[in-house]
Amino acid sequence: MRPAKGGTIADTRAAAATVVAQVLEGASLNQVLPAALDTVASRDRSLLQQLCYGTLREYPRLQPQLARLLAKPLRSRDREVEALLLAGLYQLSATRIPDHAAVAATVAAATALSRPWAKGLCNAVLRRYLREREVLAAQLDDAAAAAHPQWLYQAIHREWPQQAAAIIAANNAQPPMVLRVNRRLGSREDYLATLAANGIEASAGSLAAEAIYLAQPMDVSALPGFADGRVSIQDEAAQLAARLLQATPGDRVLDACAAPGGKTCHLLELDPTLRLVAMDVDPQRLRRVRENLQRLSLDAEVLTEDAAAPVQLQGQRFQRILVDAPCSASGVVRRHPDIKVLRRPADIGSFAAQQLAILRGLWPLLAPGGRLLYVTCSVLEEENSGVLQQFLQATPEAILLPAPVGELRPCGGQLLPQVQGPDGLFYGIVQRP
């Protein structure tokens, strides 16, 4: 049992309500969940993660039902009570927790949140839900029933009419845990044998040569050789970037939006002779890059710089540039369910403008004959092929190359998220003559 600061252990459902409330106020799950995990008993950490991820994953479905169950909206200062009720509805509708236990624990958590007045409210709302859940479910519109915000649901169906149901299903599923084998320290076959010898069920990926899917997620510390760098955690779709970049020995390579460093490390695992600069605009996130490089005993120059205006690299040239651009993350919703709460339709245009600025900022750094790989974790055309089309129109000397992966798009290839497969990533490749 891990005591929280001050020696007290937080109620798990109250901790989940606190996290979800902060996300509803605009914080990202990655920002607030790690600290909350330290406030609960170690045996309850997985439950806290499940309550937070699950409640946010189902939020577009749960919120309209909660609104119907409340006689009047809760005040903004009672956001934690709202989040607690949402977590209660999640337990009753999407988990195997017995109804009586979910209700009792949620009601008790109101006291842990220092909202004893809300005990009666929680009890009444959750018990009414149990009586009326079928009626409430029937009143949901299509987007809410699919646990997606209306705008994203419509965008997916508009852009991927044939694949929409599969994308929605993937977005609502718990993602698989995928490993990247460090080929410097052994083959994928060797590591699969090691996993089998340790009773860990796993299978090889079908797209990336180093990818292994675990049958069940597990703590990385229990993975054989993780601390020694034999494997890293990285989705199979992300592992394709290093191959598509096609760097050759001794190339000067720029990973322009490098944090947290997964693609940087993969490139160096495949070829340690690369002269690699790992750059990111966020110095805090670059700490993760350094940590990953250290764990894997790899070496790269780490640089804080804005890819849209790389002043420190002026006059330098790279044979390969990897641009894993900031985006809506609409292809990795299953790993970041807070996107359903935080993202707005207007964000897509803002990301597209930022992505285009980054491409224009980096283009002068590409050496003659060099290759630039543009990657996003989005499934929305405006950020992907649409950005590359604008870039090519403004940069007539740039040569568009085929990206032989996924669904063929006007300027690249698109992998779509799959329940037991890769994340949804877009790849576009351009070359300087």
Please give the average per-residue pLDDT across 110-135, as a whole number: 97
pLDDT given at position 422: 98
pTM: 0.94
Residues 265-273: what's their mean pLDDT? 97
Strand 202-204 to strand 252-255: parallel, antiparallel, or no bridges (unpaired)?
unpaired
Which CATH fold topology does 177-233 show?
Alpha-Beta Plaits (3.30.70)
> What was the pLDDT predicted at 30?
93
Say how many residues make up the chain. Answer: 433
> Would you say the C-alpha torsion 178, 184, 189, 195 has a positive or negative sign?
negative
Question: Does 141 have pLDDT greater than 80?
Answer: yes
pLDDT at position 10:
86
Catalytic one among 122, 265, 377, 411?
377
Q: What token pair was written down for 381?
A: 């055309």
Active site residue 327: no
Residue 5: per-residue pLDDT: 44
CA dist 4 and 196 (Å) reads 36
CATH topology of domain 236-432: Rossmann fold (3.40.50)
Assigned fold of 12-140: N-utilizing Substance Protein B Homolog; Chain A (1.10.940)
| Binding-site residue set | 257-263, 280, 306, 324
Q: What is the pLDDT of residues 218-251, one digit of tens each?
A: 999 999 999 999 999 999 999 999 999 999 999 9
Q: How many CA atoms lie within 13 A of 143 on its CB side?
A: 14
Mean pLDDT (the chain) is 96
Same fold, 12-140 and 236-432: no
Residue spans of the domains in the chain: they are 12-140, 177-233, 236-432
- Residues comprising the binding site for S-adenosyl-L-methionine? 257-263, 280, 306, 324
pLDDT of res. 8: 65
Per-residue pLDDT tens for 356-392?
999 999 999 999 999 999 999 999 999 999 999 999 9
**pLDDT, tens only, 18-58:** 999 999 999 999 999 999 999 999 999 999 999 999 999 99
Residue type, 11: D
